[in-house]
Structure 1
Amino acid sequence: MFQTFAAQTTPDQGPPRLAALRALMRDRSIDAFIVPRADAHQGEYVAPRDARLAWLTGFSGSAGFCVVLRDIAGVFIDGRYRVQVRAEVADVFTPVHWPETQLADWVLDHLPKGAVIGFDPWLHSAAEIAQLADKLEGYELRATDNLVDAIWPDQPLAPAAPFTVQALEFAGEPHADKRARLANALTADAAVLTQPDSIAWLLNIRGSDIERNPVPQSFAILYASGKVDLFAGAGKAESIRDHLGTDIGLHAIDQFETALGQISGMVQIDPKSCPEHIATTLQNAGASVKHAPDPCLLPKAIKNPTEIAGAKAAHHRDGLAMVRFLAWLDAQAPKGHLTEIDVVTALEGFRAQTNALRDISFETICGAGPNGAIVHYRVSADTNRAVKSGELLLVDSGGQYIDGTTDITRTVIIGTPTEDHRQCYTRVLQGVIAISRIRFPKGVGGQHLDALARAPLWLAGQDYDHGTGHGVGSYLSVHEGPQGISRRSDVALAAGMILSNEPGYYREGAFGIRIENLIVTVPAPALAGADARDMLAFDTLTYVPFDRRLIDVALLSDAERDWIDQYHRQTIGLLASDLDEATRSWLTAACAPL
C-alpha cells in the first residue's frame, strides 16, 4: 500500500514548462495566468489529471496556487509549506507568503492597469472571482480554457472508477429521508451541488476518484420536491441505479451544462465552492441565482448516532493498530536500522492487518529529526532519513474504514530526549488537554477555542502556523468543513461534530512536534447550581498512549496530570484485552501513572 511521494515536476523540469506556458500566454495576449491547486469540485485533494500546480511548479502541498506573469511566477503558500516549497520548486518560481500577501495586492504591485489576467472558470469559485474583480478594478479578468492543459502532453485521464453504496447500517439514515429533510429547508426551487463529499453523504454513495478520499466525482441538482438529478462520468453510476431509485435521475456528466440552462425559478448555489463557470452559465440562461451555503454542509458535519458509533468502532481497531505499531517501533528503533520509509511501511502494514482497512486516509507523514518541522512532509526516496537516536519522530496518519475515518499524530523520542524536547512536547500536550477538557456555551465557534491550545506555547514565545483542528468525515474526507478549531472558523460547534485536536510546535532544521486526537462534540454533563447553562464539551475518540518519556511533569498542573493518567487508564481499559500478551505488557508500561 505504501507509495513514495514525488512531485510530478522536479526542479529541472520547472523552467521549460514555465517557458512553454509563457509562450502560450503571449500567443493569447494574456499578461497573467492563475494556476490553482483545484478541480471543478473545489475540493482540497485533486486527481492526477487535475494536479496542474504540481506538474507546473513541483510544489506538492495540499493548498496554494501559482500566478504566472511574463517576468515573475509567484507560488503562494501558507505557513505549513514554507520549508517544503523551497525544496520542491526551481528558482524560476518565487515563493509568496499567503495569506499575508493577497493575490490582488500582489497583482497590483506587479502589473499595470489594463493587464489581462487569465483563469480557468471551472477551477475558481464564484466568490473568489467576484472578490478579485472587486479589488482589481481596471484589470481584465478573462475566463479561458486551461492553458496548462494545452501544454501538458501526457496529462492523465479523468478518474473512471464506479461508485459504490454506503449501506444504511453505516449511513444511519436513508437517502430518501435526507433528500426530503434538505428539500423542506430549501428557500429556492433547486440547489446545485458541486462538492463530491456532499453528494456522497446525501445519496449514501461513495467512490474512489480521489486517492485516499472515498468520494464520487459528480455534480447534482437537488429540487424542492426532494428529487435529484445526478451527473456522472460514463459507467460510473450504473451499478448503483437500484440504490438510487426512481426519484434520482442519472445523467451523463456532459449533460450538466444543458441541465443548468433548463432549471426554472430560483436556483441556489454556494459561492464559496461553486465554480464561476456554473454561476455564469446560470446567469446567462436567465436563472434567478441565490447565494447560500451548500445545504449538505451542516447536516453532513453533524453525525448521527450510527455514524458516531461507527467512528468509535473505527477508532478502536485503529487504536489497536497504532499500539502494535508503537510497540514495534520501541523495539526496533534503538537497533539503528530504520528509515522513515520503513516506519511508514510498517504502520500501514499494521493497519492492513485489521482486515477492515479500505485505504489510508491520507499519505502518511513521517518526519525524523528536522523533517518533522515540515508540517505536511511526505517522505520520498530522495528525502528518506534514518531514524536516529536522540531525535524526535513525528508520525501523522489515518485510516479509511467503512464505518469511520481516523486521523492521529504521535511524536515519540528515539533514545533519550533533551530538556528542550520535553518542555516543547509538554506545552503541546497541554494544548491537547485544554481542548479536551473545555466546556463552552452553545453558539461558540472554533475561533473562540483556538487560543486555549496555543496558550502554553504563547507563554514560552512559541506558536504554530496551522489550525488547531479540522472537521472529519464519516468514511469520507479526512478534512471536512464547515467546522474547525482555528482563528478563522466562526461556525458554531454543535453536538455530533467530529474534529481533530492537534496543536504543534516546529523548529526549522531541528524537529517538529504534533499531538493529535479526534474528538466529538457532545452535550456537557450538567453542573449543579441555578446559574449553570446548557453547554457543550468534547468526548475523545482516539485512545493511544502519549510518550511519557517526553512529558515534563513539573510543567503540569495537578488537573493536567490527572487528565493524562485518566486518559491512559481508559486506553488500557479499551484496548488491552484485544492485544497479545507482549503488546499488552508494552501498553501497560506506556500508560503507567505519571
Structure 2
Amino acid sequence: MFQSFDLPDDRAASADRLARLRKAMAQAGVDGFAAPRADAHQGENVAPRDERLAWLTGFTGSAGLCLALAHRAAVFVDGRYTLQAREQVDGAAFEVLGLADPGPEAWLSQALHAGAVLGLDPMLHTTAGVEKLSAAAAKAGASVKLLDANLIDAVWSDQPPPPCSAIRPYPEALAGRSAAVKRDAMGSAVAAAGAEAAVLTLPDSIAWLLNVRGDDVARMPAPLAFATLGADGAVTLYTDPDKLDGVALAHLGPDVTTAPPEALGSGLDALAGKAVLVDRRSAPAWVGRRLEAAGARVVWARDPCILAKATKTQAELDGARAAHRRDAAAMAAFLRWLDEAGAAEKPLTEIAVVKALEDFRAGAGDLRDISFDTICGAGPHGAVVHYRVSRATDRALVPGELVLVDSGGQYLDGTTDVTRTVAFGPPAPEAEARRLFTLVLKGMIAISTARFPENTTGRELDPLARAALWRAGHDYDHGTGHGVGAYLGVHEGPQSLSRRGEEPLKAGMILSNEPGCYLEGRFGIRIENLLVVEPATLVEGAARPTMGFETLTLAPVDRRLIDPALLTPEERSWLDAYHARVLAEIGPLVDAPTRAWLEGACAPLER
C-alpha cells in the first residue's frame, strides 16, 4: 500500500540506454523515437512495465516526453517537474525543456532534418498526439512512422511483466447506480452520437461503467482493460482471464462478454461496416487505424463515460463526505504529532513524516491505498512542486522552516487529496513566508466562496485564485484545481480549475482548490481543499441561477503563518467559520489530546 523511498537512480545508466535505443532505431530504419510517460490507457499512473521514460532518462515524474534523435535527445516536462527533472536527468545526454516552452513540437520542427523519420509506438500515442507530432515533423520536411513494436521494449532486458490483479465488484450502494443502468445510459449516449458501438480505453471509465475496481496500478483502483460498448448496452471486456474469478463473472452478468487482451484486434475487426465511437484524445492511435483498416467508420467523439463519471451521484457524494471526515481525523492527529515534534525540536526527516502520516491514515478505516505518493517538502524541497522524497534526497526538518505536505487516501467510499503547509517549530516563520502564505490563502478562499453562473468554466474561475499573488508579482506554474474521482483517480477529467479548463462546471463535480507559491531554494507554499460544485443559494433579486462550492476537506490551516492584516473582514470570517466547522465535525472523532490541540488550531483569528 505505502510508497517506496528507493526510487530508481537511472541517471548514470541513461547514456548507455540511450545508445542502445539509438542502435535499435537504426535497425528499425528510423531517425528518432518518441517515448512518452504513458501506457496504452493514457493513465497518470502506470505499471512498472510501462515506466519506459523513467528507465530511459531517469525522470520519474507523472508527465513527460522524451524525443530521442540520432545526435540529440530532449526530455520535456511541465512546470511541476522542472526542478525534479534537472536533478534526475543526465544533462550531458538529454536537454531538459518545458512541455509548453518551447514544447516538443517546436523542438522537433527545428531538430529533425529533411527526410528524417520519427518512430512512434501507436499504442502509446493518441490520434491527436500523433497528428501534432506529424505536423511538427512535416515542418522540417520529415515524417512519422507508426511501428509494430516499441523500441525501448526491445532493449529493456529486465522489463517487468504486465500486472494481473483481481477484478473486484464495487458495491452499488456506494456507486449509486447499478452497472446495468449505467450500461443502458451509456449505450444510449453512443447511439445519440451517431454510433453503433464505442471503444473504451480508459480504465477508470470501464471501472465506473461496470462497477468494478482493481489493483493493476498503484494509487489508481481500476483494472487495466479495454472494452467495447454497444448502443444496446452490451459490453465486451478485454482483460486477462486470470483477473476474473466466479464472483467477478457473476457480478458482470450475461450482458458482459469477456475476452483476453490479445483478442482486441479481432474484436475491432468484427466491427467492420459499423459506426464506432472513439475518443481521439485518449484512445491509442492504433485503435482508430485498426478500425479504419477493418472497414469501420470511426466517429470521433468524447468517451461517453467521462462526464457521467465526473458528475457524482448522491451516494458517491455521501461517500466522499464520510471518507473526508475519517481522513480529517487522521490529518488532525498527524498535524498535532508534527506540531509537537517541532515544539520539542525532535529530529525528524521527510521520510519519517511521510511514514507517520501513512500510519495515521491506515487507522482511519476503509483505507485501500494512498491516492498518490505523499509529497513532503521541507524547506527548499517545498519549492519542488511534485517533490517525491527518496532515501537519496531525505532531508531533516529544520526548526523555523516551512514544511509542505500534500497527501491523500483511497478509501472504499471516496478519494481524498489535501495539502497543508505548516511552520515547523520555533523560531517563528519569516515575515516573507507569512506574507506569501496569506496571499495563497486569499486565493484559496476566493475559489471557496466563488459564486458563478451556470456553464462557467474552470478557466474563467482560475484567475480568482491568482489575483492576490499577481498583485504581488507572484504566480504558480500549475493549475489551481483538478477533478477527483469516487474511489478512482485522484486526478480526473474533464473538469479542472486551470488556464486550460474549458469544461463547464456542473453540480456533483469534485475539484481540488490548491493555489501555491514557490521560491526556488527557499520554500514552497500550497494550501489545498477538495470542493463539490453545487447550486448556490439564490441572492435576493438574482436574475439567473448561480453555482458555488461545498468544501469537503476538514483540516486546520496553520494560523501561525497567517498575517490577519492582509485578510479582508469577509476572508477572516470565512476562515473562522471553516475552523469552527472543522472543530465541530472532527473534534468528536479524535482522542482527547488531539481534540485539545484542535481547539487551539481552530481558534478564531486575532483581530
- For normalisation by structure 1, the TM-score amounts to 0.99
* 1:355-394 paired onto structure 2 within 5 Å: 355-394=365-404
* 1:117-516 paired onto structure 2 within 5 Å: 117-137=118-138, 138-144=141-147, 145-186=149-190, 187-239=194-246, 240-263=248-271, 264-334=273-343, 335-414=345-424, 415=426, 416-516=428-528
2:34 equivalent to 1:34 = yes
The code of the aligned residue for 2:295 comes to G
CA contact 2:482–2:497 (8 Å) conserved in 1: yes
Shift of 1:539: 0.3
Shift of 1:234: 2.9
User: What 5-or-longer segments of structure 1 have no aligned partner?
Assistant: none
Specify the alignment match of 1:572 in structure 2: 583
Distance 1:280 1:255 in 2: 16
Distance 1:55 1:569 in 2: 48
Specify the alignment match of 2:66 in structure 1: 66
CA contact 1:7–1:54 (8 Å) conserved in 2: no
CA contact 1:472–1:478 (8 Å) conserved in 2: yes
> Secondary structure in 2 aligned to 1:39?
coil
> Secondary structure in 1 aligned to 2:323?
helix
Distance 1:141 1:5 in 2: 38
The code of the aligned residue for 1:14 comes to S
CA contact 1:208–1:215 (8 Å) conserved in 2: yes
CA contact 1:424–1:505 (8 Å) conserved in 2: yes
Q: Which moved more, 1:177-186 or 1:276-285?
A: 177-186
The code of the aligned residue for 2:320 comes to A
Distance 2:521 2:226 in 1: 44
> Secondary structure in 1 aligned to 2:243?
coil
Shift of 1:132: 2.4
1:268-319 superposed Cα distances (whole Å, 9 cap, x missing partner) = 0000001011111001001000100000000000000000000000000000
1:531-557 superposed Cα distances (whole Å, 9 cap, x missing partner) = 431011000000100000000001000
1:81-134 superposed Cα distances (whole Å, 9 cap, x missing partner) = 111111101121110121122322211211112101001000000111123223
Distance 2:6 2:302 in 1: 36
1:406-461 superposed Cα distances (whole Å, 9 cap, x missing partner) = 00000000121111110010000001100000000111110000000000100000
User: What 5-or-longer segments of structure 2 have no aligned partner?
Assistant: none
Shift of 1:43: 1.1
CA contact 1:7–1:59 (8 Å) conserved in 2: no
1:192-231 superposed Cα distances (whole Å, 9 cap, x missing partner) = 0000000000000001011011011000001001111110
Distance 1:9 1:330 in 2: 33
1:465-503 superposed Cα distances (whole Å, 9 cap, x missing partner) = 000000000000000001000000100000000000000
The code of the aligned residue for 2:187 comes to A
Distance 1:349 1:395 in 2: 15
The code of the aligned residue for 2:109 comes to L
Q: Which moved more, 1:325-334 or 1:280-289?
A: 325-334
Q: Which moved more, 1:577-586 or 1:559-568?
A: 577-586
1:136-189 superposed Cα distances (whole Å, 9 cap, x missing partner) = 323221111111001111100000111101111111100100111111122210
Specify the alignment match of 1:532 in structure 2: 543
CA contact 2:484–2:491 (8 Å) conserved in 1: yes
The code of the aligned residue for 1:568 comes to H
> Secondary structure in 1 aligned to 2:347?
coil
Distance 2:172 2:216 in 1: 22
Shift of 1:6: 4.3
The code of the aligned residue for 1:248 comes to V
Q: Which moved more, 1:49-58 or 1:11-20?
A: 11-20
Q: Which moved more, 1:346-355 or 1:96-105?
A: 96-105
CA contact 1:11–1:58 (8 Å) conserved in 2: yes
Distance 2:437 2:348 in 1: 23
CA contact 2:484–2:510 (8 Å) conserved in 1: yes
Shift of 1:30: 1.3
The code of the aligned residue for 1:348 comes to E
1:552-578 superposed Cα distances (whole Å, 9 cap, x missing partner) = 001000000000000000001101112
> Secondary structure in 1 aligned to 2:227?
strand
Specify the alignment match of 1:109 in structure 2: 110
Aligned-residue CA RMSD in angstroms? 1.0
1:58-79 superposed Cα distances (whole Å, 9 cap, x missing partner) = 0011101100011111000111
Shift of 1:9: 4.1
Shift of 1:7: 4.1
Distance 1:3 1:278 in 2: 34
CA contact 1:200–1:215 (8 Å) conserved in 2: yes
Distance 2:146 2:20 in 1: 20
Distance 2:365 2:567 in 1: 39
Distance 2:165 2:533 in 1: 35
The code of the aligned residue for 1:407 comes to D
Identity %: 51
1:497-518 superposed Cα distances (whole Å, 9 cap, x missing partner) = 0000000000110000000000
Shift of 1:191: 0.5
The code of the aligned residue for 1:339 comes to T
Distance 1:99 1:210 in 2: 28
The code of the aligned residue for 1:252 comes to P
Distance 2:593 2:109 in 1: 64
Distance 1:563 1:37 in 2: 41
Distance 1:104 1:571 in 2: 47
> Secondary structure in 1 aligned to 2:96?
strand
CA contact 1:518–1:540 (8 Å) conserved in 2: yes
